[in-house]
Amino acid sequence: MTLRPTTSSALLIDGKLVPSSASGRTFPIINPATEETLGHAADGSAEDMDAAIAAARDAFDNTNWSRDHALRARCLRQLRDALQGHLEELREITIAEVGAPAFFLRGPQLEGPIEDLGYFAGLAETYQWETGLGVARPMGIPSRRTVFREGIGVVGAITPWNFPHQINFAKLGPALAAGNTVVLKPAPDTPWCAALVGKVIAEETDFPPGVINIVTSSDHGLGAQLSADPRVDLISFTGSTATGKAVMVAAADSLKKVFLELGGKSAFIVLDDTDVAGACGMAAFTVATHAGQGCALTTRLLVPREQYDAAVAATAKAMAGLRPGDPADPGTICGPLISATQRARVESYLELAVAEGGTIVCGGGRTQGRERGYYIDPTLIAGVDNSARVAREEIFGPVLVILPHDGDADAIRIANDSPYGLSGAVWGTDPDRVQRVVDGVRTGTLSVNGGIWYAADAPFGGYKQSGIGREMGVAGFEEYLETKLVAYPG
């Protein structure tokens, strides 16, 4: 079986690969590195979304899926193995559709998340589904209590385009392992990454019909429809904070659980007892990664005030060596932005930086010599303080704002002076000082001196307006569980 569609990819509804019910309507997929049309995807309609939700509801209510832990583990491993058999095609398509540098495909952009399906299969087998609380005597009546954990029901999974496999599998893996059925609505920019997984599921695995449904569409409204539908028990959403709030509002009427992974404006804190130039080089590398299109990338660099000028120079020098390039080139760190719309948004922030009194130290616009593709040079903004909009709002491009701090407590204050709290980094040599900074920063993940927190068993998520809940790990699995307490005569 070859994965690459010859005409258009299909929807996966109730176990069948089908075209859009709107007369087979499709929409084009643009390669962000070349601006060429890569192919087409099925443009799912509101009727398709309705059918997908009905299929997921039926599979949860009327099959043994939610009770059969062994089947779930087997199907998840089958999916992992089948996808691993298609790695070369998936690599090629991910580079072309996402503009993802090949460099990251071994890690969180492709191979890591496929491997992680095995971790969630393991949880289906080993998780403690039942816990005895022993006998109590409420009102003198002996009662033996047992807590059962079970799937919530139908999960609506809504995902963005920047790390499509990681985010699709970080939802499908635990949701399915926990016994739920799923309707996945991927981002319009990256439909093939999801649709091809749908093809593998339909043709190479034993997932029962309706357990996984995948509806690609150019219409964001299908996400709103999924969020509002009363047949859906949980929305697991990753995307911008503004859309997350809309999801929460839409979900409120049916009072379904919402699990939100949202935006960030994370701080990279450099203490004065470390190699400031080396730390700044790492901060430059981080923000250039995948053209800054990562929610957890650090986009504010906080350096000791007395070393500000040297830090600006060191960061600019490191950025100059990170010229954007063809994502298929194994040496590329910074590929294109996903779309013309996203490039225009980043460019508007570069204009805003100047209007706010900032200085563009390096970068600041489109990459010369790359007339095709949505490339922007890694950019350093200096001369603003943390109240500037460019220091407060998520830009989602290779743009770093460098800010001075007056010591550890001030660095913590600036890091926390943000509506977000997703991630961050601390560089310092004194472990006690570093730990005090770690303790003070209100954020869901932190890297110390280059430590990497990403792994299947590592809970990831945000404080404040960066989200509600945790993805990955046992905590991420438990987001998809309900709790049932049963009392028997003691």
| 262 near ligand NAD, rule: CB under 6 A | yes
Is 272 or 478 the residue whose CB approaches ligand NAD more closely? 478
DSSP string, 363-401: --SBPTT--SS--B--EEEES--TTSHHHHS---SSEEE
On whether the CB atoms of residues 387 and 355 are closer than 8 A, the answer is no
Nearest distance, CB of residue 7 and ligand NAD, angstroms: 23
Is 280 or 295 the residue whose CB approaches ligand NAD more closely? 295
Separation CA 68–CA 207 (nearest Å): 12
What tokens appear for 163 in the block? 């790390």
Query: Burial letters for 17-36: b for 16+ Cβ neighbours within 10 Å, e otherwise?
Result: bbbbbbeebbbebbbbbeee
Give the residue, chosen from 109, 162, 379, 445, that forms a contact with ligand NAD under the rule CB under 6 A. 162
Is 187 or 211 the residue whose CB approaches ligand NAD more closely? 187
Which segment (116-124, 217-225, 373-381, 426-434) binds ligand NAD by CB under 6 A? 217-225
Of residues 295, 394, 471, 479, which has the active-site annotation?
Answer: 295
Give the residue, chosen from 12, 184, 295, 415, that forms a contact with ligand NAD under the rule CB under 6 A. 295
Which H or E element spans position 484?
strand 481-489
Is 65 or 237 the residue whose CB approaches ligand NAD more closely? 237
What would the x/- binding string for ligand NAD be over residues 410 to 449, using CB under 6 A?
------------x---------------------------
Question: Can you list the alpha helix ranges (DSSP code H) found in 178-252?
Answer: 191-204, 221-228, 241-252
Q: How many CB atoms lie within 10 A of CB 488?
A: 10
Nearest distance, CB of residue 153 and ligand NAD, angstroms: 19
Cα distances (angstroms) measured from residue 174 to each of 121, 182, 218, 326: 8, 11, 27, 34
Give the residue, chosen from 374, 396, 463, 480, that forms a contact with ligand NAD under the rule CB under 6 A. 396
| 227 near ligand NAD, rule: CB under 6 A | yes
**Cβ-based neighbours of 79, under 8 Å, separated by 6 or more:** 117, 197, 200, 201, 205, 207
| 247 near ligand NAD, rule: CB under 6 A | yes
Which segment (86-94, 259-267, 319-327, 429-437) binds ligand NAD by CB under 6 A? 259-267
Give the residue, chosen from 5, 32, 113, 263, that forms a contact with ligand NAD under the rule CB under 6 A. 263
Give the residue, chosen from 50, 229, 394, 408, that forms a contact with ligand NAD under the rule CB under 6 A. 394
Which segment (17-25, 223-231, 378-386, 435-443) binds ligand NAD by CB under 6 A? 223-231
Question: CA Rg, the chain, in Å?
Answer: 23
Which 88-127 residues touch ligand NAD, going by CB under 6 A?
Answer: none
Separation CA 126–CA 479 (nearest Å): 17
Task: Count residues near ligand NAD (CB under 6 A).
Answer: 30
Is 165 or 185 the residue whose CB approaches ligand NAD more closely? 185
On whether the CB atoms of residues 386 and 269 are closer than 8 A, the answer is no
Nearest distance, CB of residue 36 and ligand NAD, angstroms: 21
What's the number of CA atoms in the CB half-sphere (13 Å) around residue 33?
Answer: 23
Is there a catalytic annotation at residue 261? yes
| 467 near ligand NAD, rule: CB under 6 A | yes
Separation CA 227–CA 444 (nearest Å): 25
SS3 460: strand
Nearest distance, CB of residue 130 and ligand NAD, angstroms: 31
Bridge pairing between strands 481-489 and 143-151: antiparallel
Of residues 261, 394, 471, 479, which has the active-site annotation?
Answer: 261
Bridge pairing between strands 467-468 and 481-489: unpaired
Provide the binding-site residues for ligand NAD, judged by CB under 6 A: 158-163, 167, 185, 187-188, 220, 223-224, 227, 238-240, 243, 246-247, 261-264, 295, 394, 396, 422, 462, 467
Annotated catalytic sites, by residue?
Answer: 261, 295
